Homo-oligomer: A and B are copies of this chain.
Amino acid sequence: MVVKVYGPAYASPKRVLVCLIEKEVEFETVPVDLLKGEHKDPEFLKLQPFGTVPVTQDGDYTLYESRAILRYYAEKYKSQGTDLLGKTVEERGLVENWLEVEAQSYNPPIYTLTVQIMFSSKLGFPRDENLIKESEEKLAKVLDIYEERLSKSKYLAGDFFSLADLSHLPFTQYLVDQMGKEYMIRSRKHVSAWWDDISSRPSWQKVLQLYAAPFKN
């Protein structure tokens, strides 16, 4: 029985897709069109009361919140595919540290940039140029800390690729492509090398090939 992932066209669900490919877990996807408001349909709200994607179903077990789903599949299939959690409790601790940094410090400004730059015209509200400038400044400060960290270890949690790195893929791809802000990555030597490394993984290339962004800018 293959697992299901809802909302494959969007960034947060792509975290789950790339994780499942790394873990060699078969899955199928269920489209949810956010631009048509399908995430607010009563049937969908039964699965995910907050009305966001992704949701996953593993048989009759339902889970949401992308980073929770990552941890679940990485743990359930610990010994299959790429190990994404570290080998010791200390390595796992550092994976959690940097996964939380992604969630708490990296994602808020890059998510705001995504909504403002990529989705505002689609959703029918004007771009807030001040908010874009402020979010880019916040993201730049976070990237400065990443530059320092990545000058000391190849990946965020240490010398192994993990959920902490993987979780950055979808929104950073938007930043580099659709948002035209690749300079934020390229102006930082170690961040740039890290980005080349993680974004060229076959798992991520496969996600990009199979599931296009929700629209072309």
Contacts and interface: CB of A to CB of B under 8 A. Distances in A.
Contacts of A99: 68
B103 A104 contact: yes
A144 to B, nearest CB: 9
Contacts of A93: 61, 63, 68-69, 71-72, 75
Nearest to A108: B108
Instruction: Give the interface residue-count category, chain A.
Output: 20 to 34
A92 interface: yes
A96 B76 contact: no
Contact of A103 (B64, B103, B145, B148): B103
**SS class, residues of chain A in contact with chain B:** helix
A38 to B, nearest CB: 19
Contacts of A145: 49-50
Most buried by B among A65, A68, A72, A99: A68
Given A49-B148, A68-B97, A71-B93, 7 more contacts: A61-B93, A65-B100, A65-B104, A68-B96, A71-B96, A75-B93, A76-B89
Interface of A: 49-50, 61, 63-65, 67-69, 71-72, 75-76, 89-90, 92-94, 96-97, 99-101, 103-105, 145, 148-149
